[in-house]
Chains A and B, each alone.
Chain A
Amino acid sequence: MKTLASNSLIFLLILGMWSCTPPKEGESSTSNSAAVSTHPKGQASVSDDVSDKNILQVAVSSEAHSTLVAAVEAAQIEHVLVNAGPLTVFAPTNSAFEALPDGTVENLLKPENKGQLANILTRHAAPGSYDIEALKKEARKGRKLYMATGDYLEVVVDGDNVSVGGAAIVATIPTSNGIIHVVEQVILPN
């Protein structure tokens, strides 16, 4: 009862304040509150055609990564991929997602599975900037790659082929805030 009373009081108070606020010329008083509710817009919305492309921009421009981009959006982690980072991202192609058991992707894209999806995607990102030479050096020195989820993944070099957590790297793209390695397999937890 007490809670109910104080809640409605606050509501009344707000109502009272609103009614005190005369709309400005050519502007309704609700436009201001709408502006507030859309914030923060976040770094992903910054328009910048001068800097080199960041990880998210590169991924968005790649047709072979539309599933990954959809998953990043569903998990609402796009701002991570435009952050100063730096990050090394192992980016599974659409076919990598298709290779998962039937229904897996659809299930992960459901709103109630957002946390699980975010966790799976985050396992594909390593803090730091590791180009292909740096990854080879990790293997040579016997260092495992520390991923953003806290997992350690093994880097394996076989001739010219490099794989991380069992996923073979088929291409490498430098970006303004890190490195993208294209992989053809989703890296799942052991």
Chain B
Amino acid sequence: MKTILKGSQLWLMGLAIMVMSCGQSNNQNTGALGSNIAERVYVAPGEHDEFYAFVSGGFSGQLAVHGLPSGRLFRVIPVFSQDPEKAFGYNEETKPMLNTSFGFVPWDDAHHPDLSQTNGEIDGRWCFINANNTPRIARISLSTFETEEIIELPNSAGNHSSSFVTENTEYIVAGTRFSVPVPQQDISINEYKGKFKGAMSFIKVDPNTGRFNLEFQIMMPGFDYDLAHPGRGKSHGWMFFSTYNTEEANTLLEVNASQNDKDFIAAINWKKAEELIANGDFETMNVEYAHNVYDEATHSATSTIKNEVKVIDPSKYPGLVYLLPTPKSPHGCDVDPTGEYIVGSGKLSASLTAHSFTKMLAAIENQKFDGDVYNIPIINYDDVVGGVVQQAGLGPLHTEFDGKGFGYTTFFISSEVVKWKVGTWEVVDRQPTYYSVGHLMIPGGNSRKPFGKYVLAMNKITKDRYLPTGPELCQSAQLYDISGEKMELLLDFPTIGEPHYAAGCPADLIKPNQKKIFRLEDNLHPYAAKSEKEARVERDGNEVHIYMTTIRSHFAPDNIEGVKVGDKVYFHVTNLEQDYDVPHGISMIGANTSELLIMPGQTETFVWKPKRVGVWPFYCTDFCSALHQEMQGYVRVSDKDADVPLSWSLDGE
């Protein structure tokens, strides 16, 4: 009986083998094995992904770094929110990064990363991302994967139409989503029309250092400004912003801002703006904004409050801005790799509108205008539209291009990605997403040279897609192979919340420039101790400064006495390691802050205010070595009036 059963098992398995070997010839959709999908996203242990994907962390305020095609998460870079894992915004060195004109703001809503470019191609130097809530733009080094600079934007509110890069990284643009009174004043909200303005900020980027300067603002009418993209190639020198609420409503926008049949894409000639600035055709406004810069040599950030911005009123200067009628509350505003087509995705429209840059220039030349708004000319729709993708889906949001003549647009309501042909405007493929897709990303998508192998779609809702985790579920990204005629869903992976937008590029543009360690001899931190001989403790009134070092596997000093209740104790800790991937951490019992995580050659500081007498331990929080568990120390805390002298030692010396 047993033998017979075994025989039938053998037979069944044989059949299974036959079915499997036939699968390929019959049908590509026999699952992961049959269609080879698993192999196409599999990156073997120790192998590297082909692309980096920088995926915005939305309301986490951070930026996630994934690899494609595997979807693996490598790092979450703290940008606008405190991060106890890396001490960002907790240690004394990086607290100034989160300073604003409103004071310390430990959180924001990070939306749209974009990568620096040279000659219209991704150059792998920096990633930029916007803070939506308290308007800011950040620059992240792609050598250290750390946030190096954050600039606040005055006159802006809901900094959503950001942070898009021109083709030589001349400017990062940042348009306000919410129009506000400019300057801010105590007026009735009902006075919105005419008194509220929308500031489009142009931040100049130093080509060598990447340092920001808020160069000028163009003060647009009081619409909502949603997204933007730069012209490229023939349209280089122009910036395109999508608008909604051209009704200038100030309440129940879901109804009142959906009245007009068409809103606008605003085309701004920023080269013209540069001329105006050079000619002195601007007003200088008194404002207040923070500019925060992290210095790699001192391992410290400084925050400077600035008080002036140059403002251009477009109603006074013909030729600076034109309005391109675009149905209906457009979200995405995307430019194809040639720079010819500017695609508006009207959220409430079933069709996509592609404006033609060539036609736009001709219409301007021939004055084909259909009135104006606040003295800004509206170009006649028929004289600027280059094509329409008809009835493509429901709720179009964002388009990217593959560089092979196709556009890929997300549709939120119908949960799908639609592929269409530039020029003929015909839909050639559509694939479902799971579910309610927002933006999508093709590596190099915002450039002249997209790498059209994959598209990554980012979803808002996942419901049944993963193991449930209570009422709040993960968000997700889905990877499609777009190398063939039809898109193919390869992979579905969870992301941190919320993946609004992403930028990506081939890993080879970034990998060779990685910072491995900081040289100790280059460390200019004022409280660095560059050898154990320099380790010491100094008292200055009730401030105690510990100049501490770390090396596998001890702190120097590790026994400290003479600290008193009420002191303010600064742990300035220098990691003496000069070896790749060997950080040390430190934390003190009862410290009202996070740990430190100190890279080789770096100095970081945390403050501890001892509240009770006793002997209190500290320890290394990063598993640094075989003797990590031995890496600890003690601080003796005496009463306020005690006369215990200040002393420190390591191994009794």
In the complex, A19 has a CB within 8 A of chain B: yes
Q: Flag if A84 contacts B44 (CB, 8 Å).
A: no
Contacts of B213 in A (CB 8 A): none
Stretch at the interface among B18-26, B116-124, B602-610: B18-26
Residue A86, interface by CB 8 Å: yes
**CA distance in complex: A22, B30 (Å):** 14
Cα separation A47 to B625 with both chains bound (whole Å): 21
Query: Which of B269-277, B306-314, B462-470, B574-582 lies at the interface?
Result: B574-582
Chain B 526-559, CB within 8 Å of chain A: the 1/0 string? 0000000000000000000000000111000000
Report the contact-size class of chain A (Cβ under 8 Å from the partner): 35 or more
Cβ contact within 8 Å between A17 and B580: no
**Residue in B16, B517, B553 whose beta carbon sits within 8 Å of that of A51 in the complex:** B517
Give bound CA distance, A78 to B552, whole Å: 20
Given known contacts A127-B627, A176-B577, A41 and B516 CB-to-CB distance under 8 angstroms: no
Q: A177 contacts the other chain (Cβ, under 8 Å)?
A: yes
Interface residues of A in 17-48 (CB under 8 A from B): 17, 19-22, 24, 32, 35-36, 39-41, 46, 48
A39, A86, A128, A178: the one contacting B45 at CB < 8 Å is: A39
A9 B626 Cβ-Cβ under 8 A: no
Query: In the bound complex, do residue A35 and residue B47 qualify as a contact, i.e. CB atoms below 8 Å apart?
Result: yes
**B653 and chain A: residue at smallest CB distance:** A137
A12 on the B face (CB < 8 A): yes
Verify B627–A86 contact, CB threshold 8 A.
yes
Q: Does B33 contact A (CB under 8 A)?
A: yes
A151 within 8 A of B: no
Q: Are A12 and B17 in contact (CB under 8 A)?
A: yes
Proximity string of chain B (385-425) to chain A, C-beta cutoff 8 Å, 1 when within and 0 when not? 00000000000000000000000000000000000000000
State which residues 35-63 of B face A: CB under 8 Å: 36, 39-40, 44-47
Q: Which B residue's beta carbon lies closest to that of A42?
A: B46
Residue from A9, A46, A52, A84 within 8 A of B578 (CB atoms): A52
CA A44 to CA B422, docked complex, whole Å: 50
Answer yes or no: B14 CB below 8 A from chain A CBs: yes
Q: Are B625 and A51 neighbours in the complex by a CB distance under 8 Å?
A: no
Residues 73 to 112 of chain A near chain B (Cβ within 8 Å): 83-86
Q: Are A85 and B552 in contact (CB under 8 A)?
A: yes
Q: Is there a chain B Cβ closer than 8 Å to A5's Cβ?
A: yes
With A50-B516, A137-B651 known as contacts, the answer to whether A86 contacts B552 (CB < 8 A) is: yes
The yes or no answer to B10 lying at the interface (CB within 8 A) is yes
> Of A12, A24, A36, A51, which is within 8 A of B580 by CB?
A51
Question: Given the complex of chains A and B, what is the CA–CA distance between A46 and B514 in angstroms?
Answer: 13
Q: Is the CB of B44 within 8 A of A32?
A: yes
B36 cross-chain contacts in A, Cβ below 8 A: 20-22, 24
| B627 in contact with A128 (CB, 8 Å) | yes
With beta carbons under 8 angstroms apart, the residue of A39, A129, A176 that contacts B46 is: A39
Chain A residues whose CB sits within 8 angstroms of the CB of B635 once the complex forms: none
| CB under 8 Å from chain A, chain B span 584-639 | 600, 624-627
Whether A176 contacts B44 by the Cβ 8 Å rule is no
Interface centre among B17, B21, B516 (most CB of A within 10 A): B17
**Beta-carbon nearest neighbor of A87 in chain B:** B626
Structural contact, A177 and B24, CB atoms closer than 8 A: no
Q: Is residue B278 contacting chain A, with contact meaning CB distance below 8 A?
A: no
Does B13 make an interface contact (CB < 8 A)?
yes
B130 to chain A, nearest CB (A): 33
Question: Would B20 and A177 count as touching, CB distance under 8 A?
Answer: no
Residue of A nearest to B577 (CB): A176
**Taking CB as reference atom, which chain B residue is nearest A54?**
B579
Residues of A within 8 A of B582 (CB): 84, 176-177
Size category of the binding interface on chain B: 35 or more
Q: Does B34 contact A (CB under 8 A)?
A: yes
User: Is B516 in contact with A51, judged by CB distance below 8 angstroms?
Assistant: yes
Q: How far in angstroms is the closest Cβ of chain B from A173? A: 14
Q: Which residue of B lies closest to A48 (CB)?
A: B580
CB distance from A155 to the nearest CB of B (A): 15
Instruction: Give the CA-CA distance A85 to B23 in the complex, in Å.
Output: 51
> Which residues of chain A from 113 to 163 have any CB-CB distance to chain B below 8 Å in the complex?
127-129, 137
Give CA–CA (A48, B10) in the complex, Å: 53
* CB contact between A177 and one of B10, B17, B552 (< 8 Å): that residue: B552
Instruction: Report Cα–Cα, A190/B466, bound state, in Å.
Output: 60
Chain B residues with Cβ under 8 A from A17's Cβ? 20, 33
**Which residues of B have CB within 8 Å of A176?**
577-579, 582
Judge whether B33 and A35 touch: CB under 8 Å: no
The answer to whether residues A177 and B579 also contact, given A85-B625, A128-B553 and a CB cut-off of 8 A, is: yes
Neighbouring B residues of A178 by C-beta, 8 Å: 552
Given A12-B17, A85-B552, the answer on whether A52 and B44 have CB atoms closer than 8 Å is no
CA distance A32 to B600 in the complex (A): 36
Complex Cα distance, B24 from A16, in Å, reads 11
Which of A13, A24, A85, A128 sits near B17, CB closer than 8 Å?
A13
Which of B40, B551, B579: most chain A CB closer than 10 A?
B579
| Contact B626 A86, beta carbon cutoff 8 Å | yes
Give A23's nearest chain B residue, CB to CB. B36
Closest A residue by C-beta to B520: A52
CA distance A177 to B551 in the complex (A): 9
Question: Taking the nearest CB of chain B, how far is it from the CB of A2, in angstroms?
Answer: 8
CB distance from B70 to the nearest CB of A (A): 14
- The answer to whether A20 touches B20 (Cβ under 8 A) is yes
Contacts of A54 in B (CB 8 A): 579
Instruction: Report which of A13, A20, A86 forms a contact with B23, defined as CB distance below 8 A.
Output: A20
- List, in ascending order, chain B residues with CB within 8 A of A86's CB: 552-553, 625-627
- A76→B16 CA distance, assembly (Å): 43
CA–CA, A15 and B14, complex, Å? 12
Q: How far is the CA of A137 from the CA of B651 in the complex (A)?
A: 10
Residues of B within 8 A of A19 (CB): 21
A-B residue pairs in contact (CB < 8 Å), sample of 9? A13-B13, A13-B16, A17-B20, A21-B36, A40-B45, A84-B552, A128-B553, A177-B579, A178-B552
List the interface of chain B (C-beta within 8 A of A).
Answer: 6, 10, 13-14, 16-18, 20-21, 23-24, 33-34, 36, 39-40, 44-47, 516-517, 551-553, 577-580, 582, 600, 624-627, 651
Interface residues, chain A, CB within 8 Å of chain B?
A: 2, 5, 9, 12-13, 15-17, 19-22, 24, 32, 35-36, 39-41, 46, 48, 50-52, 54, 83-86, 127-129, 137, 176-178
Q: Which 9 A-B pairs have the closest CB atoms?
A: A176-B579, A16-B17, A86-B552, A52-B578, A39-B46, A50-B516, A51-B580, A51-B579, A19-B21
- Extra contacts besides A40-B46, A50-B517, A129-B552 (9): CB < 8 Å: A9-B13, A16-B17, A20-B21, A22-B36, A32-B44, A39-B46, A40-B45, A52-B578, A86-B552
